[in-house]
């Protein structure tokens, strides 16, 4: 059972009291440079600085009172961890976050700042899953997967609903793709609202499992992916892959250098702080990996969480 527009509309109502309706900005010099008219949906201005809050909030506020009281859990050191921690705090329930012991101090502090209980483990997937499982047994907490979860996918789709409400005449909608939560939620929403819209994703060459999976017609996970776009290291899931297969026209890959120089250009021209992952779809346009000249292109700027002490172009 895959999420439908009805699920996404329900998610929109559910999270409306908590999430920002983020602005859509346009930028003349960017458009001139790209030859297309871009409408940037600023999820970097979302709570916790990323679209991830939408999915986490929808999942947390979908729980029954009984489930909710036992708390929620995820293993993540990224934006999902912060998003889940904040959503749980807003509902007044415990959040357990399993993090590798080598996670950056700044990420630990951010998650702790939202009131989550952090459990550290060895930095392997096995250790993370095992630690998570132990806590689930002890507490009865509900696992909220960062993307392979219908409630999360529906939540992520709400950004596209807002964008299309504000700019109905989009020809194309673009997102980055990591695990595929944002892309699949966007694809379901956009396809249902506007069947002729084209859904295109950008992906780093160094973590191109979605590109290869679509080519092969089956999930081919990334092995030791490497990219500065740290939100996109994950591979497609069993729920996100079939949606993407059904509704996404194309996955376009970009190099590390292309990501960094596009990120730099976006900062300079739009005055928005975007993280490398958010620059990925725009990099596909800027580096002419896809020809969308003359079209109205919605782009979901996925997030803005960047270490301001270490900018990649300095």
> Which residues of the chain form contacts with a copy of itself (CB under 8 A)?
20, 23, 25-26, 28, 42, 44-45, 47, 49, 264, 267-268, 270-274, 304, 308-309, 311, 313-314
Our CB check for a copy of itself shows the closer of 42 and 150 to be 42
Asked if 304 contacts 49 with a C-beta cutoff of 8 angstroms, the reply is yes
Smallest gap from residue 233 Cβ to a copy of itself (A)? 21
Strand order in the sheet with 72-75: 117-121, 95-100, 72-75, 142-143
Active-site position among 41, 47, 52, 117: 52
Among residues 267, 270, 249, the alpha carbon closest in space to that of 259 is found at 267
Asked if 87 contacts 60 with a C-beta cutoff of 8 angstroms, the reply is yes
Q: What are phi and psi of 13, to 5 degrees?
A: -65, -40
Strand order in the sheet with 250-254: 24-25, 37-42, 296-301, 172-176, 198-204, 250-254
Find the helix or strand (DSSP H, E) in which 29 lies: helix 28-34
Instruction: State how far the Cα of 240 lies from the Cα of 138, in Å rounded to an integer.
Output: 30
Smallest gap from residue 298 Cβ to a copy of itself (A)? 16
Smallest gap from residue 172 Cβ to a copy of itself (A)? 22
Token pair 């920002």 in the structure block, residue: 20
Our CB check for a copy of itself shows the closer of 130 and 272 to be 272
Active-site position among 77, 184, 222, 235: 77
Smallest gap from residue 46 Cβ to a copy of itself (A)? 9
Q: Is 117 in the active site?
A: no
Our CB check for a copy of itself shows the closer of 42 and 210 to be 42
Our CB check for a copy of itself shows the closer of 49 and 206 to be 49
Q: Is 77 in the active site?
A: yes
Our CB check for a copy of itself shows the closer of 45 and 118 to be 45
Smallest gap from residue 49 Cβ to a copy of itself (A)? 6
Token pair 């958010």 in the structure block, residue: 278
Strands of 49-168, DSSP E: 72-75, 95-100, 117-121, 142-143
Q: What is the set of active-site residues?
A: 52, 77
């Amino acid at each position: 059972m895959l999420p439908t527009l009805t699920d996404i509309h329900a998610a929109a109502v559910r999270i409306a009291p908590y999430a920002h309706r983020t602005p859509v900005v346009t930028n003349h010099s960017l458009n001139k440079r790209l030859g297309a008219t871009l409408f940037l949906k600023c999820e970097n201005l979302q709570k916790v600085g990323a679209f991830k809050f939408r999915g986490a909030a929808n999942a947390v506020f979908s729980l029954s009172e009984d489930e909710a009281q036992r708390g929620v859990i995820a293993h993540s050191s990224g934006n999902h961890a912060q998003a889940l921690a904040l959503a749980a705090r807003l509902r007044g329930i415990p959040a357990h976050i399993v993090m590798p012991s080598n996670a950056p101090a700044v990420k630990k502090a951010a998650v702790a700042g939202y009131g989550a209980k952090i459990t550290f483990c060895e930095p392997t997937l096995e250790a993370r899953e095992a630690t998570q499982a132990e806590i689930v047994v002890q507490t009865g907490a509900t696992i909220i997967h960062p993307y392979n979860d219908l409630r999360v996918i529906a939540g992520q789709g709400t950004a596209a609903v807002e964008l299309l409400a504000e700019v109905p005449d989009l020809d194309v909608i673009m997102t980055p793709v990591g695990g595929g939560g944002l892309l699949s939620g966007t694809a379901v929403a956009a396809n249902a609202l506007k069947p002729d819209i084209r859904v295109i994703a950008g992906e780093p060459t160094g973590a191109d499992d979605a590109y290869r999976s679509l080519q092969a017609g089956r999930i081919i996970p990334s092995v030791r992916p490497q990219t500065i776009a740290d939100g996109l290291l994950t591979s497609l899931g069993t729920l996100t892959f079939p949606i993407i297969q059904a509704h996404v026209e194309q996955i376009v890959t970009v190099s590390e250098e292309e990501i960094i120089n596009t990120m730099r250009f976006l900062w300079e021209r739009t005055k928005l702080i975007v993280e490398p992952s958010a620059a990925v779809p725009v990099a596909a346009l800027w580096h002419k990996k896809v020809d969308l000249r003359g079209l109205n292109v919605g782009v979901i700027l996925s997030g803005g969480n960047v270490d301001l002490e270490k900018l990649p172009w300095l």
